[in-house]
Every structure is written in structure tokens, then in C-alpha cells.
Chain A
Amino acid sequence: QSALTQPASVSGSPGQSITISCTGTSSDVGGYNLVSWYQQHPGKAPKLMIYEVSNRPSGASNRFSGSKSGNTASLTISGLQAEDEADYYCCSYAGSSTVVFGGGTKLTVL
């Protein structure tokens, strides 16, 4: 069970859109529609932003959207705002009742 692969960092200017990728295998990301995304500000617990690939929980901004193609899931943030600067983690069901996280991506709002 290996960690999912995310870019270490991404950046964008206010108002722009950015996309963070999350690459796994057919045994996790590609095999199930059970990918979630979390936002984490320093010193805080993670916050669920997307679940089951593309669903938003109540309380998550509609500027956040998720998708999946093959073994790669993606999180897109549109209309970037300063408050979006944070670490982002993907997570996938990995079969056999286990879960695996990505290594995390640091988003910088320029």
C-alpha cells in the first residue's frame, strides 16, 4: 500500500483556477469512486472538501470541484482566494477495508 502521488506544491494568483492531481493505481483511485480531498491550514485538523470523487459536503465552497480519470483524481479550485492557501490531501479507498492518503500539496496564493 503506497501513498498516492501528489505534486509537492502548486501556486496561483487570486481569481485564477488551479488543479491538483492525485495519482494512484487501479487498486485504489482507479478501482473505486471513493476519492476524497482535504484542506489543512497550519495547526488545524483537516477539513473535508470533496468526497466520492466529486461531491461537496455542506460547508465546502462551490469553488472546489473534483473529478477522476483512470488512476488520477483531480481537485480544481476556481476563483482563488487568499484563504485557500493551505495544504491539500487526497485520500482513496484502497480495497481490503483500507484507506490511503496522498503525500500532500502545498498551495500558495501569490
Chain B
Amino acid sequence: QVQLQQWGAGLLKPSETLSLTCAVYGGSFSGYYWSWIRQPPGKGLEWIGEINHSGSANYNPSLKSRVTISIDTPNNQFSLRLSSVTAADTAVYYCARDSAATEYWGQGTLVTVSS
């Protein structure tokens, strides 16, 4: 059974960098894209980006200038960094397997940006 477990800082100040990591347990790590998706409180889902095992990444054009997704294949982990955060980046952040048919999700991490 595939499980995704994520962690990272939950409270940031404006202009800081958000950093989250997701570990994958079970299943194949190399055969899929691994993605990050976020959901502001009370709002809808927004795709942030994805990466495959070889490090090829794709990003949401609206966030591309601030986002970096990286991968640690030997440890079956991948990470998200979002720079220069503002209150608008306050959201639950999910890691997930695949982007277009996402069957496996992490538990979600609420990241709050507040001064």
C-alpha cells in the first residue's frame, strides 16, 4: 500500500521561504510523477507542480517564479520550496502521486503566513 507522509514548518512570516518534504512508502517511486497541490482555507484546489524520479519538474505558470520542487530518489522523498511567501500563500499543502489522476495523497500540512 502506498503511503505519503509529509512534514514542514506550519507558521511563516511574510517574505520567508516555505519548505515541505514528503516521504513515500510502498510501491514504485521511479515510475511516477510526484506532485504538490494546495488549498487555501475554504477555497478550491490549486496545482503547484510535479517532479519525476530523474528530476524533471513542471510548474504552475502562476507560481513558477517562486517554486522549486526537488527529489531525493535514494530516500524516496521529494520537497517543495516556495519563496517570498505572503498571506495569500496560506493554505493546506498536500503532496500526492501523479497530477492528473491522483490516487494517493499525503495527510496535508496547514501553512499559515502571518506577521
Contact = CB atoms under 8 A, between A and B. Distances in A.
Interface of A: 1, 3, 34, 36, 38, 45-46, 48, 51-52, 57, 89, 91-93, 96-104
Interface residues of B, number: 23
Contact of A36 (B43, B46, B101): B101
Contacts of B103: 48, 57
A45 B47 contact: no
Contact of A98 (B37, B61, B94): B61
Nearest to B99: A99
23 contacts: A1-B62, A3-B44, A36-B100, A38-B102, A45-B94, A45-B106, A45-B107, A46-B102, A51-B101, A52-B101, A57-B101, A91-B47, A91-B102, A97-B50, A98-B59, A98-B60, A99-B50, A101-B44, A101-B47, A102-B44, A103-B44, A104-B43, A104-B44
B45 interface: yes
Given A1-B61, A98-B60, A91 B44 contact: no
B100 to A, nearest CB: 5
B101 A101 contact: no
B94 A99 contact: no
A103 B42 CA distance: 11
A45 B61 contact: no
B1 to A, nearest CB: 12
Nearest to B45: A101
Contacts of B61: 1, 98
